[in-house]
Amino acid sequence: MSALALNSRMPYMPMNWAEHDTRTARLSLEERGLFDVARSALWRVVGCRMPLDTLKLRLRVADGSPQDVLLGTLVALDLLTVDAQGWVFDAVQVREFEAAVRKAETNRENGRKGGRPKRLEPPPIDDADF
């Protein structure tokens, strides 16, 4: 198993359920379950990419097993991509990861500056002014 940098900076995974349901609507329950588990494993490493063999080891998917066939189906349906180097990823998840990291960095920078400035409240209106 290859050593991958763990995703310690982004422990939570944002989830757009409407988009996820649209993407997985045509999957069987088994395919959807494997897709969700694979995405969870991918989220745990920086960049949400890992060698396909590493993903199979982490998910305990044996070559030729029913789960291996399901994983092949997810690749065939373009829900997961395997690049020329044999690394697997979900392009939507990679985009979500990059956006989440950018947002976290922006929030961190704003926090260093003191956060959101306090809102100036207008002075109370005195009835004597009328």
Number of domains the chain contains: 1
CB–CB of 5/43 below 8 Å?
no
Its pTM stands at 0.76
CB–CB of 59/37 below 8 Å?
yes
pLDDT at 21: 92
Residue 18 lies in a domain: no
Here the CATH number for the domain that contains residue 77 is 1.10.10
**pLDDT tens across 51-80, in order?**
999 999 999 999 999 999 999 999 999 999
C-alpha to C-alpha distance for 45 and 96, rounded to whole angstroms: 14
Q: Worst-scoring range by mean pLDDT, 1-10, 16-25, 65-74, 113-122?
A: 1-10
pLDDT at 89: 97
**pLDDT tens across 77-98, in order?**
999 999 999 999 999 999 988 8
- pLDDT at residue 28 greater than cutoff 50: yes
Residue 39 lies in a domain: yes
Residue 17 lies in a domain: no
Q: Quickly state the pLDDT bin for 117 (edges 50, 70, 90).
A: confident
Residue 12 lies in a domain: no
Residue 40 lies in a domain: yes
Q: How many CB atoms lie within 10 A of CB 45?
A: 19
Tell me which residue range forms the domain holding 60: 27-107
pLDDT at 1: 43
Residue 37 lies in a domain: yes
Residue 97 lies in a domain: yes
Residue 73 lies in a domain: yes
User: How far is C-alpha 92 from the geometric centre of its chain's CA atoms?
Assistant: 8
